Amino acid sequence: MVLTYRPQRYPLHQLRDEMDRLLMGFLGPATNGPLPGASGQPAVNVWERPDALLVEMEVPGVKSDQLDLSVVGNELTIRVERPDGPDEGVIYHRRERPVGPMARVLRLPVEVDSNRVEAQITNGVLTITLPKAESAKPRKVNVTVG
Amino acid sequence: MTNENTIAKPSAEEAAAERTWAGRSFRPNVDILEREDELLVVADVPGATSDSIDVKFEDGTLEIHAVAPPRHAEYGDFLLREYAVGDYYRTFQVSEAIDAAKISAKYADGVLTLRLPKAEALKPRKISVSAG
- The shortest C-alpha distance from B84 to chain A (Å) reads 9
- A60 → closest Cβ in B5, B49, B110: B110
CA distance B16 to B117: 25
- Taking CA A84 as the corner, what is the angle to CA B107 and CA A56, rounded to the nearest 5 degrees? 60
Residue-by-residue pLDDT tens, chain B, 132 positions: 445 555 566 665 555 555 666 667 889 999 999 998 888 999 999 999 989 999 998 888 899 999 888 887 777 788 888 888 888 999 998 876 788 888 999 999 999 999 999 887 766 677 788 887
Distance of CA A120 to the CA centre of its chain: 15
Q: Which of A13-27, A35-49, A128-142 has the lowest mean pLDDT?
A: A13-27
Whole-structure pTM value: 0.75
Q: What is the pLDDT of residue B8?
A: 62
Check: CB of residue A59 under 8 Å from CB of residue A125: yes
Q: Which of A37-41, A69-73, B2-6, B120-124 has the lowest mean pLDDT?
A: B2-6
Residue-wise burial string across B73-101, b where 16 or more C-beta atoms lie within 10 A, e elsewhere: eebeeebbebbbbbbbbbbbebeeebbee
Pairing of strands A100-107, B87-93: unpaired
Whether chain B has a CB inside 8 Å of the CB on A66: the answer is no
Mutation for testing the B interface, residue in A65, A123, A130 having most B CBs under 10 Å: A123
C-alpha distances in Å from residue A18, one per residue of A15, A91, B41, B128: 5, 51, 47, 77
Residue B5 to residue A34, Cβ atoms within 8 A: yes
CA distance A30 to A132: 20
This model of the complex carries an ipTM of: 0.76
Q: What are phi and psi of A113, to 5 degrees?
A: -90, 95
Per-window interface: A 4-33 vs B, CB < 8 A: 23-24, 26-29, 33
Q: Which of A103, A79, A98 is nearest to B28 (CA)?
A: A98
- A60 → closest Cβ in B35, B36, B109: B109
- The shortest C-alpha distance from B130 to chain A (Å) reads 29
The four Cα atoms B53, B57, B61, B63 give a dihedral, to 10 degrees, of -10
Residue of B nearest to A20 (CA): B1
Q: What is the pLDDT of residue B93?
A: 87
Q: Which residues pair with A55 in a beta bridge?
A: A46, A128
